[in-house]
């Protein structure tokens, strides 16, 4: 097909989706209005492709215009916990790629956003400031920078150099990628629009189910096991289209997903026992005659497929399958397939909702089984303090209650071991992963003092108050010390405050601690910032405060 015809068809689709939805009120040069419209529509389309949003929502993500810092669209996807930053280029001839200069402008804009530097940006980008800051502060978030263009060539390595340098600077050698890059070009756009990605039109043929069973009412459903490799093939072919009705797409490299990956690669034969499996909703399920004599195996056709539970498992299997399919050749996974037929959308929503909210257990939920936690609860109760260490309990009276979440952070930062302090930023779930081993046993054991536990939580609250107070009045990398170095600052403050004679002998007064902590906090903040700029001027602060080696260097300098 001639490339120009492909562009004509892409134009037609963009007009159908975004006509009169893209704001062009700031365009003064009428001769450029067509090119500006398609550039912005392309950025909105990238949001729709990656997040499944409708055209109206995607159109509201546009930030393109003068002083846009090289960023044409911003979208905070709370379901995926991803911040999408888009740059788009409309090549009306459908050829070429992205130049190094264009890549550099984009990467410099991303760098400024990561450093909370939005000075001089336009009003559209400024309106996204809260979304950007929420995502950058949240440890579970990932930032995805996407270059979307209608050229027919991928970016050359030399042109991508500014982007690679930024990725290395932000991610360094961390196992969790904070920043990732994707390129969407002519062919990707055409395929997406041609294949009707917005429709639930996936058909999976010859699905081989082993040791299967069925349920007849109120909906026909089948369950059993499939090879993990089959799931890998589905994800390779359909990607996020598999999750059309799910509450989230595959989130990429996260703490939980890394755990799934580790099990899949190291113990594939036990994967079935460790993983909860996936659930698929279908418009129609047809059982074939082959293998129909018993329930050892069954062959099925699934029409209108959507994975409504197990997106992360599916994505991890898909990514491992792409890297090394032989690794998962022995892995099996449990699957539920539900034939909804002509059921209304409300039923689909209900199944999706409850499949993703029931029976979810975090590692810290097992803390309630630790006898030391109940001991601490009783000791604190004698002081009129309620210790909420079981899942679901919420603080209603801060003057008389403390929570397990607070206690975990305070105890971790109370220790002299900077590897545990770094863990509170890098992977806080690891602190309570196993209540019979370290690091949990370092936090809670027979020697844990209820006085120091409670007072540590008060110090945590006082430091958090200082963080909120000063964050609004600071900017740039000095502000990033507050955002990313909050736990290290807490550790430094605790290391000084815990020397108070009464710290481990009586429950202290919060107001007393706040007054004592404010000057200590400000002093450490300034000193940490100065050392960071002296030793790690080019490093992204999020990595500095997750890296125990760098924390030790800062601590030694202090």
Rg (CA), the chain: 27
- How far is 271 from 147, CA to CA, in rounded Å? 36
For residue 248, what pLDDT is reported?
65
Q: Could you tell me the sign of the dihedral formed by the alpha carbons of 160, 147, 129, 546, in that order?
A: negative
For residue 103, what pLDDT is reported?
94
* Residue 204: exposure state from Cβ atoms within 10 A (0-12, 13-18, ≥19): buried
Residue from 546, 456, 473 nearest 554 by CA: 546
Looking at the chain, how many residues does it have? 558
The residues, ordered by sequence, that sit 6+ positions from 341 with a Cβ below 8 Å of its Cβ are 219, 220, 283, 284
Is the separation of the CB atoms in 106 and 95 below 8 Å?
no
State how beta strands 82-89 and 73-77 pair: antiparallel
pTM beyond 0.75: the answer is no
For residue 555, what pLDDT is reported?
94
Residue from 221, 231, 219, 203 nearest 302 by CA: 203
Residue from 406, 435, 405, 375 nearest 494 by CA: 406
For residue 1, what pLDDT is reported?
44
For residue 358, what pLDDT is reported?
52
CA 127 to chain CA centroid, Å, is 22
Strand order in the sheet with 297-303: 284-287, 297-303, 203-215, 220-227, 332-339, 278-282, 306-309
CA atoms within 13 A on the CB side of 227: 16
3-state secondary structure of 372: helix
Residue by residue, pLDDT tens for the chain (558 residues) are 445 888 999 999 999 999 999 999 988 888 889 999 999 999 999 999 888 788 888 999 999 999 999 999 999 987 777 899 999 999 989 899 999 999 999 999 999 998 888 889 999 999 998 889 888 888 778 899 999 999 999 999 999 999 999 998 888 765 567 899 999 999 889 888 886 554 457 889 999 999 999 998 888 999 999 999 999 999 888 877 788 766 666 766 666 777 788 888 899 999 999 888 999 999 899 998 877 778 889 999 999 888 888 888 898 998 888 888 888 889 999 999 999 887 766 776 677 766 665 545 456 777 877 889 989 999 999 899 999 987 667 888 999 999 999 999 999 999 999 999 999 988 888 898 888 889 999 999 999 999 999 999 999 999 999 999 998 888 888 999 999 999 999 999 999 998 887 888 899 888 888 889 999 999 999 999 999 999 998 888 888 998 999 999 999 998
């Amino acid at each position: 097909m001639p490339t120009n015809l492909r562009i004509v068809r892409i134009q037609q689709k963009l007009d159908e989706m975004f006509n009169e939805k893209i704001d062009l009120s700031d365009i003064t040069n009428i001769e450029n209005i067509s090119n500006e419209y398609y550039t912005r529509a392309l950025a909105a389309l990238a949001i729709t492709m990656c997040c499944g949003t409708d055209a109206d929502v995607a159109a509201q993500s546009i930030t393109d215009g003068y002083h846009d810092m090289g960023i044409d669209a911003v979208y905070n996807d709370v379901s995926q916990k991803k911040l999408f930053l888009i740059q788009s280029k409309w090549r009306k001839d459908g050829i070429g790629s992205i130049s190094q200069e264009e890549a550099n402008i984009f990467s410099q804009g991303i760098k400024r956003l990561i450093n909370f530097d939005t000075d001089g940006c336009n009003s559209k980008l400024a309106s996204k400031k809260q979304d950007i800051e929420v995502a950058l502060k949240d440890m579970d978030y990932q930032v995805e920078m996407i270059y979307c263009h209608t050229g027919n060539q991928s970016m050359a390595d030399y042109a991508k150099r500014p982007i690679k340098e930024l990725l290395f600077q932000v991610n360094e050698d961390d196992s969790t990628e904070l920043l990732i890059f994707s390129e969407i070009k002519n062919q990707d756009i055409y395929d997406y629009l041609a294949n009707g990605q917005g429709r639930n039109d996936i058909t999976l043929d010859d699905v081989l189910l082993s040791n299967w069973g069925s349920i007849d009412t109120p909906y026909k459903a089948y369950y059993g096991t499939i090879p993990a490799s089959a799931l890998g093939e589905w994800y390779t072919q359909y990607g996020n289209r598999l999750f059309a009705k799910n509450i989230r797409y595959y989130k990429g490299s996260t703490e939980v997903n890394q755990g799934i990956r580790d099990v899949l690669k190291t113990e594939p034969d036990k994967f079935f026992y460790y993983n909860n499996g996936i659930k698929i909703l279908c418009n129609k399920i047809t059982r074939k005659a082959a293998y129909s004599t018993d329930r050892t195996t069954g062959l099925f056709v699934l029409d209108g497929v959507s994975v409504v539970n197990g997106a992360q498992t599916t994505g991890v299997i898909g990514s491992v399958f792409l890297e090394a399919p032989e690794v998962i050749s022995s892995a099996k996974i449990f699957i539920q397939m539900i034939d909804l037929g002509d059921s209304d959308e409300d039923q689909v929503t209900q199944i999706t909702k409850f499949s993703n909210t029931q029976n979810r257990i975090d590692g810290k939920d097992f803390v309630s089984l630790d006898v030391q936690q109940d001991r601490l609860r009783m000791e604190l109760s004698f002081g009129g303090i309620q210790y909420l260490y079981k899942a679901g309990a919420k603080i209603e009276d801060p003057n008389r209650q403390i929570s397990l979440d607070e206690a975990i952070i305070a105890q971790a930062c109370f220790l002299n071991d900077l590897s545990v302090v770094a863990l509170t930023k890098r992977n806080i779930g690891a602190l309570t992963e196993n209540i019979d081993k370290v690091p949990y046993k370092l936090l809670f054991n027979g020697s844990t003092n209820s006085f120091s536990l409670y007072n540590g939580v008060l110090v945590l609250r006082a430091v958090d108050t200082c963080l909120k107070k000063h964050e609004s009045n600071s900017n740039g990398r000095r502000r990033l010390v507050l955002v990313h170095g909050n736990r290290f600052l807490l550790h430094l403050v605790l290391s000084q405050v815990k020397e108070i004679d009464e710290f481990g002998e009586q429950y202290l007064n919060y107001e007393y601690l706040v007054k004592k902590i404010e000057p200590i906090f400000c002093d450490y903040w300034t000193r940490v910032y100065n050392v960071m700029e002296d030793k790690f001027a080019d490093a992204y602060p999020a990595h500095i405060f997750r890296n125990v080696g760098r924390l030790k260097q800062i601590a030694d300098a202090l």
